[in-house]
Amino acid sequence: MSEPQNDFGLLLSATVDIGTRLDSASKAMRQPKPLDQGHRVFGSGTVPASGQNPFLLVPQSEPAGPASGMVWNVRAVKVTGTIDAHTPVTGTPEFYCGPPPTENLNAITPNFLDWIVSGAAIPFTTDLSRHVYWAKPSDMPYALIWGASPGTVLFFEAIVEVWRVEDVLRMTI
């Protein structure tokens, strides 16, 4: 008589396990997805003869920031010289995501709360964690370069995921 109870317990356990797995799979399928997972924004610039310190690099590609109703999840940033991606150039990069700073008598002061990461040298590239650094429509990723030599030509790139605000708000992480 104990055999039917064991079979019933095994059947019940298997049913619960399958139900849990189906629920997890269903939840994963309902998770929102970004509209574009590898959107690239980029800009370049030449450090002026005055040796502006820091030197501001902002995206010059269109769009430089998310459109209304959209947000960007910043996934990677890099700064290189424009000759190639591996030749060292002078300067130390800092990356931010927020409203770009305004220049006031050659003093650029970023909001430290917008800081993402600092690099040790140029070229510098890093991947960033998912769902951590977000840009809203008034924001953009940008770089400040410290100690770059006058005449140095630099290239900035950020790789972002493009999301609808409504999808981000209904995400479960």
Q: What are phi and psi of 16, to 5 degrees?
A: -65, -40
Q: Are 23 and 71 part of one and the same domain?
A: no
Q: Which residues pair with 88 in a beta bridge?
A: none
Tell me if the pTM is above 0.85: no
Q: Are 19 and 40 part of one and the same domain?
A: no
Beta carbons within 8 Å of 84's beta carbon, 6+ residues apart: none
In a structure prediction context, what are the per-residue pLDDT tens digits for the chain, which is 173 residues long? 555 556 666 555 656 566 566 555 555 556 788 888 889 999 999 998 887 788 899 899 888 889 999 999 999 999 999 778 888 999 999 999 998 877 654 557 777 888 889 988 999 999 999 889 999 998 999 999 999 999 999 999 999 999 999 998 888 66
Q: Are 94 and 21 part of one and the same domain?
A: no
Is-contact 71 134, C-beta < 8 A?
Answer: yes
Q: Are 53 and 11 part of one and the same domain?
A: no
Beta carbons within 8 Å of 14's beta carbon, 6+ residues apart: none
Query: What distance in Å separates the CA atoms of residue 140 and residue 97, rounded to the nearest whole number?
Result: 5
Q: What CATH number corresponds to the domain at position 71?
A: 2.60.120
Q: How many domains does the chain have?
A: 2
Which SS3 state, helix, strand or coil, does residue 75 take? strand
Cα angle value 106/109/114 (rounded, 5°): 145
Q: Are 120 and 66 part of one and the same domain?
A: yes
Q: Are 99 and 165 part of one and the same domain?
A: yes
Domain interval for residue 20: 1-30
Q: Are 25 and 40 part of one and the same domain?
A: no
